Every structure is written in structure tokens, then in C-alpha cells.
Chain A
Amino acid sequence: AQSVTQLGSHVSVSEGALVLLRCNYSSSVPPYLFWYVQYPNQGLQLLLKYTSAATLVKGINGFEAEFKKSETSFHLTKPSAHMSDAAEYFCAVTAAGANNLFFGTGTRLTIIP
């Protein structure tokens, strides 16, 4: 079985500052990992995914995430926060043979002007 834990249900950063959203996974087999973003009153959209190729994955809107097997982590980062990044971010995990994604509880990102 797979699961993810997102540390921090709410994160606030100043505009222009580094964004770091944490995700740790649990999986007994090699995982595939995802970050989704949800803007207000919208559905979830894929930000980036790790599918066992490069460990550093680049996504849309300047976000990237690094798969670290030794730390069982897949943290999401962006060097410089923009007001438009304010949203809720979900980490998710799956693996070969699974039928489903397992989502974390989400992290709400607030950008301070």
C-alpha cells in the first residue's frame, strides 16, 4: 500500500521568497509521485510528476520537485513566489500494479505581498 504525508496544512511565504512544500511518501514498491495544484473554485490540475526517470522533475509555473529515495521525500519548491501561486497543493503517490492515486491532505499556500 502507498500513502503520503504533507507536513504543514498552511504555509505562508512572502512574494519573491522561496516556496517549500513538504511531502513524504510510504511505499513498499518503487513509487510514482505527483504534485497537483488547486486554485480557488477549480479542480485539481497536474503540476509535475515523477515516473522513475530523472529525480529532479520540473513542472509548470516554475515549480520543481526532487525525488529522494533515502529520505522518502518529494518536496515541491519554487525559487521565487508569485501572488498567483496562492492555492492548495496536493501530493499523491501510486505504484505499478495499483489502480489509484493516494492523495495527501493538502497544503494551502498563502503569498504575503
Chain B
Amino acid sequence: DARVTQTPRDKVTEMGQEVTMRCQPILGHNTVFWYRQTMMQGLELLAYFRNRAPLDDSGMPKDRFSAEMPDATLATLKIQPSEPRDSAVYFCASGLNDRGPSLPNYNEQFFGPGTRLTVL
């Protein structure tokens, strides 16, 4: 049963500390998405990649957030320095955006369980 995995599941840290969240997409998927979910803002798209290249990170605060894909099996989201307003659940999702020249891409996304971040 292929699933997106995320680590850690829970993270409590103090303001100013660096936080790194990791995501392992489903094997064979070529798109990876990072979302943030809060009660106030709902589900927000932070950044996404296709074939490991960043396509859009306009939803991400550039001064403190960074997202990378060191290889096809790992995506990372880093916050440095962290602030209390970064407290949220961060979700990673993966999908397949290249089903072949004759098949449409539905952009279906498979979500991980999330990382609950609390910044004190």
C-alpha cells in the first residue's frame, strides 16, 4: 500500500530555532506539494515541484522558508528562524503529472499524515 510519509509527525520548538520537515513521496510520483493548514487560513499551498524542479513557491515566505528535493525520494521544507505564527500542520502531497502523451493528467494528489509544528 503506497503512501506518502512525513517526519516528524509532531514537532515542538522554540522561536528562532531551525525546523526541517521531511517527506517521502510515493515511488514513481513526479510532483510534490507542500501545504500549510491553520484554523484561520485553512489549507494554503506553499510550494510544489515537478521532476524535482521547483515550479511555484509563491505561497511561501521567502525570507525564512525554503523547500528542496535533494532526490526523487525526499522533499524537505525548512524554516529558519521559526516564529510562533509558523505553528500549523504542514502537509506534503505527491502525484503523477506525466501519464504519457495520450493520457490526460488529472493532477490527483495523495496526502501524507502531516507534521504538526508548534513554535513557542
Which of B14-22, B79-87, B101-109 lies on the face that meets chain A?
B101-109
> A43 touching B107 by the CB < 8 A rule?
no
Q: Given A90-B43, A106-B42, A44–B108 Cβ distance below 8 Å?
A: no
Query: A100, B111: Cβ atoms under 8 Å?
Result: no
A101 at interface (Cβ–Cβ under 8 A)?
yes
User: Which of A36, A42, A100: most chain B Cβ within 10 A?
Assistant: A100
Closest Cβ of chain A: how far from B41's Cβ, in Å? 10
Q: Nearest Cβ in chain B — how far from A41, in angstroms? A: 8
On chain A, the residues within 8 Å of B45 by CB distance are: 100, 103
Residue-by-residue, is A45-77 near B (CB-CB < 8 Å gives 1, otherwise 0)? 110010110000000000000000000000000
Which of the residues B43, B107, B112 comes within 8 Å of A99, measured between beta carbons?
B107
Give residues of chain A (31-46) contacting chain B, Cβ–Cβ below 8 Å.
32, 34, 36, 42-46
Residues from chain B with Cβ under 8 Å of A103 in the complex: 43, 45
- Shortest B11–chain A CB gap in Å is 15
Contacts of A101 in B (CB 8 A): 107-109
Q: How large is the interface on B (under 10, 10 to 19, 20 to 34, 35 or more residues)?
A: 20 to 34
Q: Contact mask A4-31 → B, CB, 8 Å, 1/0?
A: 0000000000000000000000000000
- Contacts A32-B106, A90-B43, A106-B43: A99 and B111 contacting too (C-beta < 8 A)? no
Q: Specify which of A44, A49, A96 is in contact with B91 (CB 8 Å cutoff).
A: A44
With A43-B91, A100-B33 as contacts: A49 and B42 at CB distance below 8 Å:
no
For residue A105, CB closer than 8 A to chain B, the reply is: yes
Once A43-B112, A43-B114, A44-B91 are accepted as A-B contacts, the answer to whether A96 and B43 lie under 8 Å apart by CB is no
Q: How far is the CA of A49 from the CA of B107 in the complex (A)?
A: 11
Residue of A nearest to B107 (CB): A94
Q: Are A49 and B43 in contact (CB under 8 A)?
A: no
- In the A-B complex, list the 6 residue pairs whose CB atoms are closest, starting with the nearest: A43-B111, A94-B107, A44-B111, A32-B106, A43-B113, A105-B42
> Which residues of B approach A to under 8 Å, CB–CB?
4, 31, 33, 42-43, 45, 48, 50, 55-56, 91, 93, 97, 104-114
